[in-house]
């Protein structure tokens, strides 16, 4: 176990390092950030001065080392648009994304797990067919289009919900439904197949033979055992879930980190792009790492070589 | 296991070298028995039909602007004109014709991206699984690195930095989605290479690359096909999302994604501009997913859903 953790930890650090280098490379090949920052009327001297001030006249490897050492201290430089550190802009947006992410995941888990359970228990009936349609439909659904349709129905025609922005619970409803739709197929399919495997285990047959009612079996015996793979897969797919949040945020102008990143890309705000890319990817890798540990704790049968 | 594999080999033989074989009726029966696969084939066939015969099917020129007839609703609405079945957009272009032409872009982008990803992913998966050791560790490391990346974020960042465009979009989609194949193929090769026929081939003095190509590759084709079909659906949605953001196919070329982007600006006035391209995307991906699911059931009846 200790050896396994250590190896994963080394891998974790390597991945973080790789991401940081990749982002540096992408920004480097994409052009000269100085030209974006100076006004149209700048003289060549002014441009040169700014370049020297930013350290962009130095050889590539010096720039790389400077970038890395600043990055370790959490310094990505100031946003090009506003004179605010990129990292602060990013952190300000985190609560909004968390709110959306939690709402979307809770909704997706409730729907996915309950439909998955019912489908597995009543296999090959019309209920199972509905579960299958729900899984396939949400998997084939372009969620950004679903978001637009929700806006048309609930904002334009019924005038029930505000189309954009963040505020109270009313603003949260449509983005949460959108994000949930993105995550439902994964949870639903997984719950159904896990449940289906567990139903045929000996201890479930024993519980049945004892005369326990169905709901007791589901809660006491199955749900606990099914929780492990469901939690694991959710953790392992954290990157995907984050991707869904980015898509949702861009359609509903939800002021989270996804919208910040997409806006930064459109305005070529490199410090912000770098900050959010590096932090988001590192957080995904860390969550995957933690999931591994939780998995090992939850299921003592798992041994690592 | 062995009988399953033998059946798999027989099916493969049928699929690839024995198309005129006597077992064809069984497959025809299988398709007919699976009602869902029929729907899938119909949807995909319609999309392919419009892509191939767009100039003959489209009632109008998809680029022809007609300012006097702009924003006409669909024909069945009171203000609609029978000339434009699905109405016209903000420049008076025929929505129906643009949808038909848009199928071309969506399908070409998805097909080429999947081809790139499958080739890269399968080659790496074969090498990693067969040779093992440090080669395997290296490739698995890179695969995990890419799999843990928030895919959408990576692609958005690259598209934003490199700049939008047709070929950039294909390359970015293709080169960021290969790890799925590598992971699946690697694990399959790990078990296949332990089987007797591989040992037999080696004992006969067959060279390594020949064993890989002639003996192992045909046995993973099933998985590649299932994965590729499900990935094609995902690629169509991704293409649409990037074009929707304005990072993919650029106007005036009609693509389902940038039609949604156009329509989004007028979402409060013209519901039909965002409704129809989304339905096209949804039905096409649904069709491909139905076929993919059917293939998976056919090749591996043990997998559920």
A129 and A60 part of one domain: no
Residues 147-166 of A with CB under 8 A from B: 148-149, 151-152, 156, 163
| A30-34, A72-76, B159-163, B179-183 — most confident range | B179-183
The partner residue sitting opposite A189, judged by closest CB among B151, B240, B305, is: B305
Question: Beta strands of B88-235 (E only): which ranges?
Answer: none
pTM: 0.83
A140 and A270 part of one domain: yes
Residues 222-241 of A with CB under 8 A from B: 239-240
Q: Quick check: B111 pLDDT over 60?
A: yes
Rounded Cα distance, A187 and A234, in Å? 8
Domain that holds residue A95: 86-298
Of chain A, the percentage scoring pLDDT greater than 70 comes to: 93
Inform me whether the C-beta atom of residue A216 falls under 8 Å from chain B C-beta atoms. no
Q: Quick check: A14 pLDDT over 50?
A: yes
**Two tokens, residue B63:** 């680029």
Question: For residue A146, which residues of chain B lie inside 8 Å, CB to CB?
Answer: 278
**Two tokens, residue B84:** 């434009």
Considering only CA atoms, which of B113, B106, B118 is closest in space to residue B283? B106
A6 and A97 part of one domain: no
Interface test with B, best of A33, A128, A134, A142 (most B CBs within 10 A): A142
Alpha-helical segments (H) within A165-269 = 169-199, 202-209, 214-216, 223-236, 238-252, 257-266
Pick B54 or B128 by higher pLDDT: B128
CB atoms within 10 A of CB A190: 21
Query: Per residue in B77-87, pLDDT tens?
Result: 777 777 777 77
The partner residue sitting opposite B152, judged by closest CB among A26, A139, A246, is: A246
Q: In chain A, whose CA is at the least distance from the CA of B243?
A: A144
Q: So what's the pLDDT on residue A197?
A: 80
| B237 to A142: CB separation less than 8 angstroms, yes or no | yes
Of chain B, the percentage scoring pLDDT greater than 90 comes to: 18
Rounded Cα distance, B131 and B193, in Å? 10
A104 and A134 part of one domain: yes
Query: Per residue in A47-76, pLDDT tens?
Result: 777 777 777 777 778 888 888 888 888 888
Rounded Cα distance, A293 and B6, in Å? 39
Q: In chain A, whose CA is at the least distance from the CA of B286?
A: A140
Instruction: Spell out the residues 6+ positions from residue B208 whose beta carbon is closer than 8 angstroms to its own.
Output: B130
Inform me whether the C-beta atom of residue B44 falls under 8 Å from chain A C-beta atoms. no
CATH number at residue A263: 1.10.3720.10
How many domains are there within chain A? 2
Tell me what the pLDDT averaged over chain A comes to. 82
**Domain termination residue (choose one: A50, A72, A94):** A72
Listed range (A111-115, B28-32, B211-215) with the worst mean pLDDT: B28-32
| A145 to B274: CB separation less than 8 angstroms, yes or no | yes
* Residues A283 and A19: beta-carbon distance below 8 Å: no
Rounded Cα distance, B53 and B33, in Å? 30
Listed range (A28-42, A170-184, B113-127) with the worst mean pLDDT: A28-42
Query: Per residue in B127-172, pLDDT tens?
Result: 998 888 888 888 988 887 777 667 777 777 777 777 778 888 898 8
Inform me whether the C-beta atom of residue A30 falls under 8 Å from chain B C-beta atoms. yes
The partner residue sitting opposite B161, judged by closest CB among A18, A30, A144, is: A30
A204, part of any domain: yes
A58 and A92 part of one domain: no
Question: For residue B264, which residues of chain A lie inside 8 Å, CB to CB?
Answer: 148
* Residues B67 and B29: beta-carbon distance below 8 Å: no
Q: Quick check: B304 pLDDT over 70?
A: no
Tell me what the pLDDT averaged over chain B comes to. 81
Q: So what's the pLDDT on residue B115?
A: 95
A6 and A132 part of one domain: no
The vertex-A272 CA angle with A270 and A274, nearest 5°, equals 65
Task: Give the distance between the most distant pair of CA atoms in chain B.
Answer: 77
Q: So what's the pLDDT on residue A272?
A: 87
Inform me whether the C-beta atom of residue A25 falls under 8 Å from chain B C-beta atoms. no
A63 and A205 part of one domain: no
Instruction: Spell out the residues 6+ positions from residue B222 whose beta carbon is closer than 8 angstroms to its own.
Output: B8, B11, B12, B295, B299, B300
């Amino acid at each position: 176990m200790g050896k396994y953790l250590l190896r994963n930890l080394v891998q974790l650090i390597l991945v973080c390092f790789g991401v940081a280098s990749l982002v540096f490379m992408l920004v480097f090949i994409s052009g000269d950030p100085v030209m974006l920052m100076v006004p149209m009327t700048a003289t060549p001297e002014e441009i040169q001065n700014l370049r020297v001030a930013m350290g962009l006249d130095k050889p590539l490897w010096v720039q790389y080392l400077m970038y890395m050492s600043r990055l370790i201290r959490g310094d990505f430089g100031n946003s090009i648009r506003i004179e605010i550190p990129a990292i602060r802009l990013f952190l300000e947006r985190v609560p909004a994304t968390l709110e959306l992410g939690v709402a979307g995941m809770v909704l997706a888990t409730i729907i996915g797990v309950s439909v998955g359970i019912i489908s597995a228990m009543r296999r090959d009936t019309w209920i199972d067919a509905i579960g299958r349609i729900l899984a396939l439909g949400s998997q084939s659904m372009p969620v950004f289009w679903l978001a637009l349709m929700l806006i048309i129905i609930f904002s334009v025609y019924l005038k029930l919900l505000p189309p954009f922005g963040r505020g109270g619970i009313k603003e949260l409803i449509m983005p949460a439904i959108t994000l949930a739709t993105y995550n439902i197929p994964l949870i639903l399919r997984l719950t159904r197949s896990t449940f289906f495997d567990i139903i045929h285990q000996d201890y479930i047959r024993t519980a049945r033979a004892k005369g326990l009612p169905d709901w007791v079996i589901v809660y006491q015996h199955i749900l606990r055992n099914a929780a492990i793979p469901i939690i694991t897969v959710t953790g392992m797919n954290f990157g995907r879930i984050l991707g869904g949040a980015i898509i949702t945020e861009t359609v509903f102008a939800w002021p989270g980190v996804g919208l910040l990143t997409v806006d930064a890309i459109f305005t070529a705000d490199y410090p912000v792009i770098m900050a959010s890319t590096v932090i988001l990817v590192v957080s995904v890798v860390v969550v995957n790492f933690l999931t591994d540990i939780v998995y090992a704790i939850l299921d003592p049968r798992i041994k690592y070589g | 296991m062995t009988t399953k594999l033998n059946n798999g080999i027989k099916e493969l033989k049928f699929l690839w070298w024995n198309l005129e074989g006597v077992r064809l009726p069984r497959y025809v029966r299988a398709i007919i028995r699976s009602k869902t696969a029929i729907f899938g084939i119909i949807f995909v066939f319609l999309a392919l039909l419009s892509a191939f015969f767009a100039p003959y099917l489209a009632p109008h020129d998809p680029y022809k602007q007609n300012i006097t007839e702009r924003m006409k609703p669909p024909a069945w609405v009171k203000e609609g004109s029978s000339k434009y079945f699905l109405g016209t957009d903000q420049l008076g272009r025929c929505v129906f014709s643009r949808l038909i032409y848009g199928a071309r872009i969506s399908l070409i982008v998805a097909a080429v991206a999947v081809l790139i990803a499958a080739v890269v992913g399968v080659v790496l998966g074969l090498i990693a699984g067969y040779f093992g050791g440090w080669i395997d560790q290296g490739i698995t490391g890179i695969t995990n690195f890419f799999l843990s990346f928030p895919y959408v974020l990576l692609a958005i960042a690259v598209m934003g930095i490199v700049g939008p465009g047709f070929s950039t979009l294909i390359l970015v989609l293709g080169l960021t989605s290969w790890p799925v194949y590598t992971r699946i193929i690697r694990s399959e090769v790990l078990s296949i290479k332990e089987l007797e026929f591989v040992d037999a081939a080696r004992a006969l003095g067959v060279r390594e690359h020949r064993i890989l190509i002639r003996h192992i590759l045909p046995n993973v084709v099933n998985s590649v096909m299932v994965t590729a079909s499900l990935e094609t659906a995902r690629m169509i949605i991704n293409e649409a999302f990037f074009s929707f953001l304005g990072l993919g196919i650029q106007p005036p070329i009609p693509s389902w994604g940038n039609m949604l982007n156009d329509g989004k600006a007028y979402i409060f006035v013209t519901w039909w501009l965002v409704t129809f391209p989304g339905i096209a995307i949804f039905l096409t991906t649904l069709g491909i997913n139905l076929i993919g699911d059917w293939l998976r059931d056919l090749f591996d009846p043990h997998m559920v859903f």
